[in-house]
Structure 1
Amino acid sequence: MKKKEQNLPTIIIDEHNPDQNKYELLKEKLRYKQALRENSKKIDHKQVRLNIQADALPSKTFFIMNALAAIIAGYGLLADSTAVVIGAMLVAMMLGPISGIALAFIDARWILLRTALSTLSLGVMMIYSIGIIMGLIHFDLPITHEILARTKPTTIDLMIALAGGAAGAFAAVSPRLSVAVVGVAVATALVPPLVASGILLAHGQLQNSANAFLLAFTNMIAIQVSSSLVLWITGFRRGSDEEVNSIWGFIKRNSISLIILMILAIYLTFNLIQSIHKQLYETQIKQQISQSLNVNNNVIDIVQFDPRENFTVVRASIRGDLPPTYAEIEKINTQLATDRNGHPSYLQIRFIPIQIIQSRALHSVHLNDQEAQELAIGTGNE
């Protein structure tokens, strides 16, 4: 019998013993204690450091998998398919070098920092280049909603990246969690915006391309900072005792990242406030138009906003029986809310008349005005 087996508790059970239930209860208690021991395993700091350092190296696997992820994400973006974009995360490997940077800051290991930064930079350039190439090859395809969705970074994206980086770090140090599960989730915050930025650059949309790249850069910084914080909390600290045990030590070693993160947070908060004001303005305008024009069997299909230098044009497409008059439009214009810059809003109507066509004469269904209006509005919203 091996030495480990000699230390394990052994219970011999007699099937004819009336105290069988007591023995079963004792077995369950022993299993529970074993589960507690398994769940309370200490972090193997040496092994975790080796794993993070290995993932931060510029290996063939890193480049192959991220190239495939960029191609999958690119076609998902061009096809406007959320499912395909999410599928790209299954093969991406962008968390490794970011975790390497986080550990390098915490442990003050500058060789590891240079290696991880080099790996991350090469990976970003490769993914970005693939995005540009795909944008040039499929230049005739339109810019989809999935691409444009990554051109408006806000504080919400920053908070998501912070949570994702913390989850990735906890998975890396935990003996019972798989870092791959969290790593693929973190990769979705990096690969799609980089590819989207490359596609937009190929189409000459410089502002949107810069915003998509800003989203990816924000995610990188946020993931690194939250990963560093988790590693520091879980005992990954090298240096003098005074510096290691002080929060100022963490701030000092991550000062550059924290300063960049604060600047990004201010800018993204400004973006979020602008986005909220825009949504409130558009919602108010749509409610005002709906109250005034959803009458006489008319149904509003689409409302679009075209901001100009000194005013905003509100274009509304309406289906119905009776077009609104010029006087009605003028009256609505005097009541419309001003845009975000305080400039007036002017309504422009595209009216689509409805004509009933049938193959043979049918008896008319007589409805009063209220019933006809409810029927038209209900049909238009289906």
Structure 2
Amino acid sequence: MSINAPELVISARAQEAVALAPGEGADAIIWDEVETNTSEESKLSWSFLAFLVIAVQLAGIGIVTDSTIAIVGAMVVGPEFGPLAGLAVALVDRRWALARRAALALGVGFPVAMGVAALATWLSIQLGLVDPGFLDHGDPATEFIYHPGWYSFIVAALPGAAGMLSLIGRKPAVLVGAFISVTTVPAAGFVAVALVLGQPEKAAGSALQLLLNLMGIIVSASAVLLFYRLLRRRRPTGVSRYSANPFKRQLPRR
């Protein structure tokens, strides 16, 4: 059995039900749909690995070439929000099987992608495409990646909340815009590049940045889900003065 969202519904009964139901239709959440979508996006698959490898590779290229465009592109391509949203749903619903599946995707995906980026950086050095000492000079354009600060967690938490809102509200365009501001994938790429170039301190800073980003997204996404659960519990059970079920009211014939 499959359920599809209709593009257009012309129905007097449906319009009456919407008018009588409490709240706004845009705020309605189909929890089964959210849980199903996050469960599917949390699986360790070849497509997930491919997207994450490409994203971290783009970030690494952006770092060694000082290309902000490549770094932003890596943020857009990165598929890491699927497992992170899955962890948030798992924590709120106590679905530990989903938590294990999402943790496996992240725990395998990031090391594999970072390993590929490290190998590509080493090959680039051997071919003379990258100056091994370019990180010694410092670069203000990428310094924020390996210098986590007080706002690192907050900057990750806000897009995490926006991402979960876009997921439960079925607004994918917002999800893309939100994660352009998160340095999850760039931080992973910087760890790989810095380790190959012999910069353990900068690698540790970017690793901390990565950890703060992951934690911020999970915490804020979980908070959004808990907030909506609280709203649902406080919502009155009756939807109109006629009946608890608006479809039982007989509408006048046209």
TM over 0.5: same fold?
Answer: yes
> What residue number does 2:208 align with?
214
Distance 1:135 1:194, change over 3 A: same
Contact 1:41 1:175 in 2 (8 A): no
1:133 aligns with 2:119: yes
Structure with bigger strand share is: 1
Between the aligned partners of 2:75 and 2:89, the Cα distance in structure 1 is 23
Deviation at 1:138, TM superposition (A): 2.7
Asked if 1:174 is matched to 2:169, the reply is yes
What is the aligned partner in structure 2 of residue 185 from structure 1? Answer: 180
User: Secondary structure of 1:93's match?
Assistant: coil
The amino acid of 2:80's aligned partner reads: M
Alignment of 1:99-178 (within 5 A): 99-139=85-125, 140-141=130-131, 142-143=134-135, 145=139, 146-176=141-171, 178=173
1:7 maps to what in 2? 12
- Please give the alpha-carbon distance, in whole angstroms, between the structure 1 residues aligned to 2:111 and 2:29: 35
- State the Cα RMSD in Å: 2.8
What's the counterpart of residue 311 of structure 1?
Answer: none
**Amino acid corresponding to residue 78 of structure 1 in structure 2:** V
Aligned to 1:197: 191
Counterpart residue identity of residue 208, structure 2: L
Give the number of the structure with larger relative contact order, counting CA–CA contacts within 8 Å between residues 6 or more apart.
Answer: 2
Q: CA deviation at 1:175?
A: 3.6
Q: 1:93–1:183: 8 Å Cα contact kept in structure 2?
A: no
CA distance in 1, matches of 2:43, 2:151: 31
Classify the secondary structure of the residue corresponding to 1:153. coil
Counterpart residue type for residue 117 of structure 2: G
| Aligned residues of 1:48 and 1:173 also touching (Cα < 8 A) | yes
Structure possessing the higher radius of gyration over alpha carbons: 1
Shift of 1:177: 5.0
Deviation at 1:135, TM superposition (A): 2.6
Give unpaired runs (5+ residues) of structure 1. 10-32, 242-382
1:289-326, CA deviations, whole angstroms, 9 ceiling, x for partnerless residues?
A: xxxxxxxxxxxxxxxxxxxxxxxxxxxxxxxxxxxxxx
What 5-or-longer segments of structure 2 have no aligned partner?
A: 1-8, 234-254
Cα distance 1:218–1:124, how it changes in 2: closer, same or farther (>3 A)? same
Native 8 Å contact 1:172 1:178 kept in 2 = no
What does residue 4 of structure 2 align with? none
C-alpha distance in 2 between matches for 1:200 and 1:208 = 6
2:252 alignment counterpart: none
Superposition pairs of residues 75-86 of structure 1, within 5 angstroms:
75-86=61-72
2:49–2:113 contact (8 Å) kept in structure 1: no
- After superposition, the C-alpha distances for 1:191-243 in whole angstroms (9 at most, x for unaligned) are 11111011110111111111111100110011100011001111289xxx9xx
Equivalent positions of 1:1-382 (< 5 A) are: 5=10, 7=12, 39-40=25-26, 42-139=28-125, 140-141=130-131, 142-143=134-135, 145=139, 146-176=141-171, 178=173, 180-182=175-177, 184-185=179-180, 188-235=182-229
Per the alignment, residue 28 of structure 1 pairs with none
2:75/2:186 contact within 8 Å kept: no
Call closer, same or farther: CA 1:6–1:236 in 2, change over 3 Å. closer
Q: Which amino acid aligns with 1:221?
A: M
Q: Distance in 2 between matches of 1:174 and 1:5?
A: 22
Contact 1:153 1:214 in 2 (8 A): yes
Letter in 2 for 1:217: L
The 8 Å contact of residues 52 and 80 in structure 2, kept in 1 or not, is answered as: yes
Structure 2 CA distance for aligned equivalents of residues 115 and 236 of structure 1: 27
Distance in 2, matches of 1:119 and 1:184, equals 19
User: What is the deviation of 1:150?
Assistant: 1.6
With normalisation by structure 2, the TM-score equals 0.74
Q: CA deviation at 1:185?
A: 2.7
Q: 1:59 to 1:68 in 2, by over 3 A?
A: same
Percent identity, aligned pairs only?
25
Q: CA deviation at 1:147?
A: 4.4
SS of residue paired to 1:235: helix
Q: In the superposition, relative to structure 1, how do residues 183 and 156 fare at CA in structure 2: closer, same or farther (>3 Å)?
A: closer
Letter in 2 for 1:196: F
Query: Do the aligned residues in 1 keep the contact of 2:162 with 2:175 (CA within 8 Å)?
Result: no
Letter in 1 for 2:88: A
Number of residue pairs matched by the alignment: 210
Select the structure that is richer in helix.
Answer: 2
Distance 2:109 2:43 in 1: 11
> Partners in 1 of 2:194 and 2:176 — Cα distance?
30
